[in-house]
Structure 1
Amino acid sequence: MDKTTKITGKPKFMKELNISEIKRAILKNPMITRSNIASLTNISLTTVGNILTELIRNEDIFTGGYEESSGGRKAERYYFNKEKYHSLSFCIDNKSIKYIISNILNEETEHGELEVNDRAVREVITEFTEYTLKQKDIKAIALGVPGIVKDSSYLIKGPDGEWIKNDIGEFLRNKFGIPVILENDLNSTVLGFSINFAGKNKDKELKNLSSVYIDFSDDCTGAGIITNGEIVRGKYNFAGEFGFIPMDGGKTLDDIINDECGNEEYVETLVKLILIINYTINPGIIIMRGERFREELHNLVVEECKKHMPEGSFPEIIFKEHSFDDYFRGISSLGAELMHKNIGL
């Protein structure tokens, strides 16, 4: 039965709803036939046919051959024009800006690094976005940022410990009229790691994964957290700021690690951190990286942690070299999700 029979008086709304349902069916099932679309969406064959004709005319979809016939007329197959729309994602850190352009299937079509020199981040990103919009139909912009996200802005610590607000998201949305999403860099990274991990391990699903990705960077210790496939941000987007955790002697975790403490104190501090994480979140995997992570102590930290935990409840702890692969995957996935929403998927 056509969905228009369920809600009356709103034909335009119902047409948009039917188009969205049909687009989603084609996106999830490439080379699908009209009858299969009707079956999946509960939309009548006539309505499906009319909408398919419109989508082909607009070059949203293409036809791609025919289904094998069992005696009657062969059924045409349909698939998305994956290069019609794109998302533009940026990975911002303290030293560089990297970008990735993805198509509607979240397949990378282009990536690179932008020269910053002494220019402001906003200027560099604005200039590149203007250039890219002349080449492609960008339907979403995603920004991975090294700070605490507040709506379309983010906060970073200034040289004197003050919080500095950067409203780049709001600026880009107002300037280009394109939806913009901001996400913390480590949240993006743990999301990308989890997506990649699920892709490499077919017995794992993103919705069942819980991971903590800790970065012992030069200036602070922070983490991205995933539980049951969802990013944990906290009420005020402050989740994962482990460097502020109070430790012994009135010091924070960052105070101890930044003081270039001895190996014994270093191991003791990391063991406490891991136990706090495990008894609070109980993730399946804890990933560690960063300039201040002492890889040579990895095994000792693991063995000390196991002394305080029941057998079978201990997460896998791995060291990972710094790489933008996970960061790229996470932020581009958020960009693709926003793009799909913007084009009615």
Structure 2
Amino acid sequence: MLPTSHNTQQVKRINVELVKNTLRSTGVGTKSSIASLTKLSVATCGTILNELLQTGEIIDLGPDESSGGRPASRYQFNADYASVLCLIVRTEGGVHSITHIQANLNGEILDEQTLTLDEITVATVEDLTATLIEQYNNVQAIGIGIPGVAHNGIIGICDVPGLAGQPLGPGLKERFEDVEVIIDNDMNLTVYGLYNEQHFEEEKNFAVVTFPKNHFPGAGFIIDGHPLKGNTHFSGEVSYLPFGVSSEEQHQLLQTSDGLHHLVVKTLVSIMVIINPAAIVITGDTMDPSMLDDLTRGCLDTIPQEHMPELIIQNDTRLEYLTGLIAVTLESLTYRIQLIEKKW
């Protein structure tokens, strides 16, 4: 992204985001405390707080307890001012389903239901979305997780036949003009959910690699806190690593304990030397926590101890998929602008 020159309106939007995010993180604040935390002037904070009160985005809790003088008003972020709608689209074992979730602006889940369907098409998703927007409170963003690839809202390869090759995102945006629309791959969203769960003190490199039964492995990466998708969204296709065997032989190796161990270690070592992650989470129904020590020793045969990331084996990542989708959907509502492009 090129450096951007900022006009008054952009600066104001940045300041509004600062005030809202400060209130969201602190819970309750006064005009003076918010000014101190944001480094904005008290007058600027007062103007922004008054505007947010009028729109209903914050709540006035009344005067603060005071030992003297005029008590200051206390403000709270109104997480229920609006909501986001998230859809998880799945096709597993020939069964088609959509799980729909409503979350408030703090990411707290207000409603969650799963529908089993005969088929899933663009019309299915659009009609369900219309029904839920009518049902839920002030939906400002739609986030959709799919078992496939999406670029600019257009679905590429996808395990849901009725969505493959379809312009799902543009169609939703045309139908719901005032609502943000985000569509992403299930693995990317799971990686983001797992990354946020680590609570790193600063942005790190991070990886998730999955070894599902009867399928080739896949991976997802976070680089300096940002998801890596690649030039053609091919990033993470680790089954294409040069293991020195054909795809058929690789599939056979994955069915045996020794072969699986060999391929997992090769994959982990490759990730370590390329992105040097702080941690790697290994998932999939072929994995078991009891395998961790052997995998660590296998990696240490190649990787020096000081460069070894933390290895974590976690089979069930459904919660992280959901939290990643909610987080990405909420982030689509924030106003972001790059102040300086830092090359090094």
Quote the residue 1:238 is aligned against: 234
Check conservation: 1:214, 1:286, Cα contact below 8 A. no
Measure, in 1, the Cα distance between the counterparts of 2:133 and 2:240: 41
Quote the residue 1:224 is aligned against: 220
Quote the residue 1:335 is aligned against: 329
Please show how residues 84-163 of structure 1 align to structure 2 within 5 Å.
84-95=81-92, 96-116=97-117, 118-134=118-134, 135-156=136-157
Does 2:309 correspond to 1:308? no
Q: How big is the shift at 1:188? A: 0.7
Evaluate the alpha carbon distance shift between residue 314 and residue 130 of structure 1 in structure 2; reply closer, same or farther with a 3 A threshold. same
Quote the residue 2:24 is aligned against: 27
Evaluate the alpha carbon distance shift between residue 289 and residue 111 of structure 1 in structure 2; reply closer, same or farther with a 3 A threshold. same
Q: How big is the shift at 1:113? A: 1.4
Superposition TM-score, scaled by structure 2 size: 0.82
Measure, in 2, the Cα distance between the counterparts of 1:211 and 1:85: 33
Q: How big is the shift at 1:298? A: 4.8
Check conservation: 2:208, 2:283, Cα contact below 8 A. no
Check conservation: 2:204, 2:222, Cα contact below 8 A. no
Q: How big is the shift at 1:335? A: 0.4
Where 1:226 maps in the other structure, the secondary structure is: strand
- For residues 173-219 of structure 1, give each alpha carbon's deviation from its aligned partner in whole angstroms, at most 9, with x where no partner exists: 11111211122211111110121222xxxxx3362352333243543
- For residues 302-343 of structure 1, give each alpha carbon's deviation from its aligned partner in whole angstroms, at most 9, with x where no partner exists: 32222222223222333212231000111110001112349x
Check conservation: 2:287, 2:315, Cα contact below 8 A. no
Measure, in 1, the Cα distance between the counterparts of 2:150 and 2:207: 20
Q: How big is the shift at 1:296? A: 6.3
Does 2:165 correspond to 1:165? yes
Q: How big is the shift at 1:73? A: 0.6
Measure, in 2, the Cα distance between the counterparts of 1:297 and 1:50: 58
- For residues 48-80 of structure 1, give each alpha carbon's deviation from its aligned partner in whole angstroms, at most 9, with x where no partner exists: 445433432332221113223231010011112
Quote the residue 1:74 is aligned against: 71
Where 1:248 maps in the other structure, the secondary structure is: coil
Measure, in 1, the Cα distance between the counterparts of 2:227 and 2:56: 35
Does 2:235 correspond to 1:266? no
Gaps of 5+ in 1: 1-6, 199-203
Check conservation: 1:193, 1:330, Cα contact below 8 A. yes
Quote the residue 1:4 is aligned against: none
Where 2:307 maps in the other structure, the secondary structure is: coil
Q: How big is the shift at 1:156? A: 1.6
Q: How big is the shift at 1:140? A: 0.8
Among residues 56, 71, 74, which one is paired with 1:59 in the alignment?
56
Amino acid at match of 1:81: N
Measure, in 2, the Cα distance between the counterparts of 1:294 and 1:51: 52
Superposition TM-score, scaled by structure 1 size: 0.81
Check conservation: 2:145, 2:183, Cα contact below 8 A. yes
Quote the residue 1:201 is aligned against: none
**Number of aligned residue pairs:** 324
Check conservation: 2:193, 2:320, Cα contact below 8 A. yes
Check conservation: 1:25, 1:41, Cα contact below 8 A. yes
Measure, in 2, the Cα distance between the counterparts of 1:184 and 1:173: 18
Measure, in 2, the Cα distance between the counterparts of 1:209 and 1:280: 11
Q: Which moved more, 1:149-158 or 1:106-115?
A: 149-158
Measure, in 2, the Cα distance between the counterparts of 1:105 and 1:43: 24
Q: Taking every aligned residue pair, what percent have the same amino acid on both sides?
A: 26
Evaluate the alpha carbon distance shift between residue 332 and residue 16 of structure 1 in structure 2; reply closer, same or farther with a 3 A threshold. closer
Check conservation: 1:147, 1:155, Cα contact below 8 A. yes
CA RMSD of aligned residues (A): 3.1
Please show how residues 163-202 of structure 1 align to structure 2 within 5 Å.
164-177=164-177, 178-198=179-199
Evaluate the alpha carbon distance shift between residue 217 and residue 101 of structure 1 in structure 2; reply closer, same or farther with a 3 A threshold. farther
Amino acid at match of 2:308: F
Q: Which moved more, 1:299-308 or 1:132-141?
A: 299-308
Where 1:187 maps in the other structure, the secondary structure is: helix
Evaluate the alpha carbon distance shift between residue 71 and residue 341 of structure 1 in structure 2; reply closer, same or farther with a 3 A threshold. same
Amino acid at match of 2:210: I
Evaluate the alpha carbon distance shift between residue 311 and residue 18 of structure 1 in structure 2; reply closer, same or farther with a 3 A threshold. closer
Evaluate the alpha carbon distance shift between residue 271 and residue 21 of structure 1 in structure 2; reply closer, same or farther with a 3 A threshold. closer
